[in-house]
Structure 1
Amino acid sequence: MTQQKVIITGGAGVLGAAVAKSFLAAGHRVTVVDHAPAPAAVTDGLLHLGGVDLTDEAAARTAFLQAKVAMGGADVVVNVAGGFRWQTVAEGDPATWEKLFALNARTCLNMCRAAIVPEGEGGLANGGAIVNVGAAAAEKAGAGMGAYAASKAAVARLTESLATELGGRIRVNAVLPLVMDTPQNRADMPDVDPKTWTATAAVADAIVFLASRAARAINGALIPVTAPTAD
């Protein structure tokens, strides 16, 4: 497998860390970009860029260029950064809608815009890939999921539109997880059997596949990753 140079947003979170681990295990170089400070510990093949506000387009562009310079190129961007909040429309705060659109849609848009400029002007290599993290809930939202689902629906439409715009020069796809087995979800839903959820490692594996040459004919796809997994 040809080594890829991969930029992952939201890499300090549970899913982002799982994605970084999967790419590293496959022999790729990885830069993690996150709002959280970079950890003191250093992992071989992994660079952390901390304290980055990806809702700011200039900051996202700067982080992308820093990562590309550090790795000597960039082939893949994985947009994991985002947030979640459950609230009903009737009793919720409209500001939550703005916050979730900023965390889920704007961060994704900003990093995509940084990645799609021509390679010679600092963008991804031709033939590169963008993989966005959407949500299965964006296809049909339940009670209290309006703001989150709407922001993730924006990610889905961005994925489809950008894939068409780029015409295959850079492939753009998204994974659509349902409920993932994370410590936060276990704490929030103690009465639900986590064996019915999807492991973050399984979602990460799907992302690594979509970034690979094996998925070279897949473009503009929204892939549900929702089956229960034992790992």
Structure 2
Amino acid sequence: MTSSEVVPKSEDVRLACAFIADADKRADILALFAFLETLRDIPERVSDPLMGEIRLRWWYEAIEEIEQGGSVRYHPLTEVLKRLVETYRLTPKAFYDVIEGQMPLLDKGPLTVADALSVVDSGEGAVLRLACEVLGKPADLTDVARLYGMAQIKASRGLSDGGDMELAHLRREAMKTSGLSADIMPLALPAVLAVDYWQGRPPGPLSKRVRLLRAFITGKI
């Protein structure tokens, strides 16, 4: 297995997931994030939206093969996803929704807040729901997923109508997420860094580590 393809490149996610105590579940959750990251890379690698649709369709058909229980086209991630679906009884529909939800990114240029929220809900939001299933700890992390995911989209391609008011709303809603257990808290940690990305000043490696650790200890976003 090619480890680099089943682990996300995002340092934020890797650092946050390091707080997950169970090493096997940690690796499985990292693979879920790597799946989303792979889909998100497609629009960046193609100049023609049609080629992007073809690549997304490849993943859609791979999930269909996993659902059907037969042989599955090879990719390090498809092997892992097949095992996750079988081990944790994850619904293939959740993966279809993640794939389809990234379609708006094939159109170049800034997104509206409404379109970006749709992309994030089907991306970060869906991955966090699946991660909670892997952990066996149901939790509603929609608002923390929105805060971090929207900040990432704003930093990478811009929001045509997203400003300080939208940031304040997203942050206020995310801060309502409270009482998370130590098992679930690692999934929410990247949201701690969202304001920096939104404001165009990505935090440095040491700052990330300190702030993620503090948030994990205090349980506060």
Same fold, judged at TM 0.5 (above): no
TM-score normalised by the chain length of structure 1: 0.36
Give the structure with the higher percent strand: 1
